[in-house]
Structure 1
């Protein structure tokens, strides 16, 4: 298959994604004349916003209302004001967050990355092997990006501190998951895109993982410790928000274990330091 014909598969796939979202909300005559990057950005913005509110409201309804005082003590439930402020910060950043997947799609369509279109081009075993390598590299990249956002003082002061005003159980909620300075959120998600140049990556899987970020980050800010090893659950991430110097990992605790920054939720002897 010639290169131009092969790259057309990615273009057709993003057209399909655009049709699923934009085609259901707008007349085709409205969005189809837009430049392709603008179509992708608009689809990412609509999809990301929907996912943020759907996951946030459903999870808050479940843990704060249906399971009231079961998973979280009453005095640890965040106020409506705190959640409203988190939503405002996240919504201001959302248009900028959506630039990253839009750029990554453009690079994939242009043939600059190592993305492939169909799993059948490799095999299921190789797909799984490459996916594991991709996830490990992403975990490594996100860990160090997050850690440097703390260790490099100007980055913390001007970027990451926006997120760390939520530093107690009763200020953390699923809505805090995307309440970042826009550049902070992009930097922490950037390893997902950088890895496309390193590891053969299934395009649809890459898109799905980017949107899974929104769901996962909501989950790790709900203060419920799931105790599923080696998952970096909310219990570990709450420790990060209270000590500022532990548990920089994203999906797992392995990087923190390897680099000496792991601290379990059970061990509160250093809390507040």
Structure 2
């Protein structure tokens, strides 16, 4: 495998890359040099956790500022804007779980660095055509995995009661916000993203693309919880996901509506409008 070759032949390019990330983030944000004495996986986990907090707070604040204040008359009816108290609770839930969420990208980096996966470092190793083929397969696998994990978190009652119910207390438009996107029980958040890591053992995946897509999850989940129906087919936008939060039986998908369409759980926002 490409990872094994990089690990065994001279410099481990993956470890060099993540060390560079660590130097940039931890060197800028953490006072002192004490973090350099930590084992490499711990440094990567700390960097991912700090990056996760920054991404969550910055995107959440900007998103809410635009849709609830700057453009509040353009996107969402006044009675659908969540209270500040509701948003504070969502931030608290997500913040408590962030360190656990960010163990997943740190673990995936470690497995890649050890040569256990099929990840490759340079696109030239496979060529641009196969890079896009593998990327498409990776995204399909992730979409399939998230759909079924999300559905089972509803269908398996102990999983729903002890994990997923934490997220589903936000079940009306005026309780949903971009901050709710990461307001999960920590294990729930990891389970829903774990297909990103499982895919590494099955499909050759470009390393930087994998890391970027893992963090894109945080941005995307903010998007699908903002109650703004973008109407871009086949994207699983907030119009679809809001239905999921109100019916509990539809629209389990993540990026697209295709899995719900294939497995009979799709409900169109227009269907709700007609019935209401």
Using the size of structure 2 for normalisation, the TM-score is 0.95
Confirm or deny: 8 A CA contact 1:7 1:111 kept in the other structure: no
5 Å matches for 1:1-273?
Answer: 3-5=7-9, 8-26=12-30, 29-268=33-272
**Which deviates more from structure 2 when the two are superposed, residues 225-234 or residues 18-27?**
18-27
Structure 2 Cα separation of the partners of residues 62 and 78 of structure 1: 14
Structure 1 Cα separation of the partners of residues 223 and 6 of structure 2: 43
Deviation at 1:7, TM superposition (A): 6.7
Deviation at 1:33, TM superposition (A): 1.1
Structure 1 Cα separation of the partners of residues 57 and 29 of structure 2: 17
Structure 1 Cα separation of the partners of residues 142 and 136 of structure 2: 10
Summarize deviations over 1:33-83 as a string: whole Å, max 9, x none: 111111001000100000001110000000001111211000000000000
Change in 2 beyond 3 A, CA 1:271/1:216:
farther
Structure 2 Cα separation of the partners of residues 187 and 201 of structure 1: 20
Summarize deviations over 1:75-134 as a string: whole Å, max 9, x none: 000000000000000011001111111111110011110000110111111100000000
**Which deviates more from structure 2 when the two are superposed, residues 23-32 or residues 255-264?**
23-32
Q: What 5-or-longer segments of structure 1 have no aligned partner?
A: none
Deviation at 1:195, TM superposition (A): 0.2
Using the size of structure 1 for normalisation, the TM-score is 0.96
Deviation at 1:4, TM superposition (A): 1.3
Number of corresponding residues: 272
Confirm or deny: 8 A CA contact 2:146 2:192 kept in the other structure: yes
Structure 2 Cα separation of the partners of residues 130 and 182 of structure 1: 29
Structure 2 Cα separation of the partners of residues 6 and 125 of structure 1: 28
Q: What 5-or-longer segments of structure 2 have no aligned partner?
A: none
Summarize deviations over 1:136-178 as a string: whole Å, max 9, x none: 0000000000000000000000000000000000000000000
Note the aligned Cα RMSD (angstroms).
1.5
Confirm or deny: 8 A CA contact 1:231 1:252 kept in the other structure: yes
Change in 2 beyond 3 A, CA 1:269/1:152:
farther
Change in 2 beyond 3 A, CA 1:3/1:99:
closer
Structure 1 Cα separation of the partners of residues 168 and 160 of structure 2: 9
